[in-house]
Every structure is written in structure tokens, then in C-alpha cells.
Copies of this chain bind each other. A is one copy, B any other.
Amino acid sequence: MNKNSEPTIHDIARELKISASTVSRALNDNPRISLKTKEKIKAVAASLGYRPNTLASNLRNKKSNTIGIVVPLINRHFFSSVISGVEDVAFKAGYNVVISQSNDLAAKEINIVHSMFANRVDGLIISISMENESFDHLKLFQKKNIPLVFFDRAVPEIETDKIIVDDFAGGFRVTQHLIDQGYKQIAHLAGPQNLMTYLQRKNGYIDALKKNNIPFDESLVLVNTLTSDDGIAAVEHLMSLPNPPDAIFCGNDTTALSAMIYLRDKGIRIPQDVGIVGFSNEPFSKVVSPSISTIAQPGFEMGQKAAELIISKIENKDKSFHTIVLPTELIVRESSKRG
């Protein structure tokens, strides 16, 4: 063993005048090695401060013991909750979690995914960026049979495991709730319609209107990227309509908040004059005033499920694909309660 380098199984073998194979087997508790030998070997390993070289082991086993996770933005409560859930399960199962963010840019996402591919992650958990159009970078994983799990933002045309929430039911429930509260003109701020999540929320909205015999008015639906500014612009536009809405179902909490602030500044009362509901249950939605009604999405659980699913795929080579739809929960708060 060289001076400042780590001890290896060969050093242990030399010490005991046995072969490296025996050492390797002993350390892995292979039954072919006698108990006595195992004990001797483990004792020497400990005294030498031996630590297995995962890199070598990974190379030999063609397995990196690593799960990749790609999110649009790490620094967003919902996503960091999912990451937290993934880490929770993965760590216990002995996997490392490598993380990267696309910043909602297609180009960066492609770059990241290729990098994870090159680094041979054993599986990839991803929520795609808003910009995406082509998905060749993800099909790579399919071709090579590397487990791929979508969460929240999934790609319909790729058949693989998916953990999503019931966005349709969420959109439906929000709308029904607003109707129940007596709102008549319900607008909707929708996100990019290439993402199923936003499309389904809108579909739920439309369906609820239909079920209640309320005519669907296309001009009350605005599609944008749901930033804070988008919310303001959209509400400004809506309120300038000849027949402005008395309730707005916002595609996320960010726009719900900015819309609310805009309206408040205009002297419009919430929920009396206009009702507001968001989506995602961001931490702030509970503490602003009025507090924002919203749909809770179980981020941490999604992460846990995603990790469990991908680990089972990695380890069992289970061929069947599952789409797990987690339930959403409507949280009624002040912004939409005028009962």
C-alpha cells in the first residue's frame, strides 16, 4: 500500500497472506468463505481503515448506484419537497441522488439529461421544462432500458412510469367550489398547454362549467407562463373586459397572489367582489391575507413514490409501467369564501 493512498483489498490480502478474491468475498459476506476467515479479514480491514472503492465496484458491476433527478427549479417549494422525498427514500436504499435544474429551458434540460446519461445514472426522475417540444433526449433512456420516471409534468407520448396528481379533478373541484360560493363569471389563468398538468386543470375547469350548465367563454381563459407579472397582466386584461369576471381560478399560487395584490390596489375586495383560487399550496398561500384557497399537491410523497418506483425498476427489472395518480386536496381559505 502506497504511503498516502487508501488501502485496498489487496493490502488486506497481503497482510493475511491470502488472495484478494477471498477478501472481496469475505467483505461481501459470501457464504463460500468460512466464518473464521471472515472475522480475521474484517478485523484487518477495520484496523487498516479500509473503505471499499465504490468507483471500482461500480465499474465492475456496471451500476452507478445513483439516481438522477431533474427539476425546472430546485429553489421552488413544490420541487424541493419532491427532491426531499426522493432523497429520503433513496438514501435509505443506498442510492445517491444527483440533482440538476433546467431553469425551464429546453436546451439546458437536454444538456443535463445527456450529462446524466453519460454519467450512467441507474435511473432518472424528471419533471420536464415548460419549453419542451422534442423528447429525443428522454427516449435515449428508453432505448438503453434505463428506468425513467416522470413526476408532475409527464410526457404522454413516452410510455414509462409516471407519478402525477389528479389535475383534472383539481381544476374541477376549484371551479365547482367557486360556483358553490355563488360566483357567476369564472375566469381561468392557464399555464402552457403543452404541459398536461395545465391542460388538465383547464379541462377540469371547463368540465365543471358544463356540468353546471354555465356556458364556456373562451375569452375568460388566458394562457401564459404563470409568472408573477403574467398574473398581473392577465388580471388587468380580464378586468378591462366589458363583462369582467367575479372569480379567477389561477393556474398557480404565484399568479393568484399577484392577481390579488393587483386587485386590492384597485380597491376591489377579495373575496366579496372577486374570488381567487390558486394551485399548489405554496407556503405563502396560507399566511398572506386574505389567505389563498388552493389545491394541495403532496410533493414529498410524490418524491417518495417516484424513488420507490424507480428503485424497484432498477432492482427488479420489472417491465410493466405504472401511472400513479395522487389525489389532490382543495383547501378553502379566505380568498374564495363568501358564504
Contacts and interface: CB of A to CB of B under 8 A. Distances in A.
Contact of A284 (B74, B88, B100, B283): B283
A160 interface: no
A148 interface: no
Nearest to A52: B118
- A55, A80, A88 — which one has the most chain B CB atoms within 10 A of its CB? A55
Nearest to A283: B284
Given A91-B100, A96-B98, A120 B53 contact: yes
Contacts of A97: 98-100
Contacts of A299: 75
A66 B55 CA distance: 12
Nearest to A51: B118
A117 interface: yes
Interface in A54-78: 54-56, 58-59, 62, 64-66, 73-77
Contacts of A76: 80
A83 B87 contact: no
A119 interface: yes
- A87, A112, A118 — which one has the most chain B CB atoms within 10 A of its CB? A87
A53 B83 CA distance: 27
A55 B53 CA distance: 12
A44 to B, nearest CB: 18
Size class of the A contact interface (CB-based, 8 Å): 35 or more
Contact of A66 (B62, B77, B98, B300): B98
Contacts of A119: 54, 65, 96
B51 A55 contact: no
A87 B74 contact: yes
A149 interface: no
- A100, A119, A261 — which one has the most chain B CB atoms within 10 A of its CB? A119
A287 interface: yes
B99 A112 contact: no
Contacts of A66: 98
Contacts of A272: none
A55 B58 contact: yes
Given A55-B120, A287-B288, A289-B289, 10 more contacts: A55-B62, A66-B98, A75-B77, A87-B100, A96-B115, A98-B98, A98-B99, A257-B287, A283-B284, A287-B287
Q: Which 5 A-B pairs have the closest CB atoms?
A: A284-B284, A80-B80, A75-B84, A74-B84, A55-B59
26 contacts: A53-B59, A54-B119, A54-B120, A55-B120, A65-B119, A73-B84, A74-B87, A75-B77, A75-B81, A75-B84, A75-B299, A75-B300, A76-B80, A77-B77, A80-B80, A80-B83, A83-B99, A87-B100, A87-B101, A91-B100, A91-B112, A96-B119, A284-B284, A284-B288, A288-B288, A289-B289
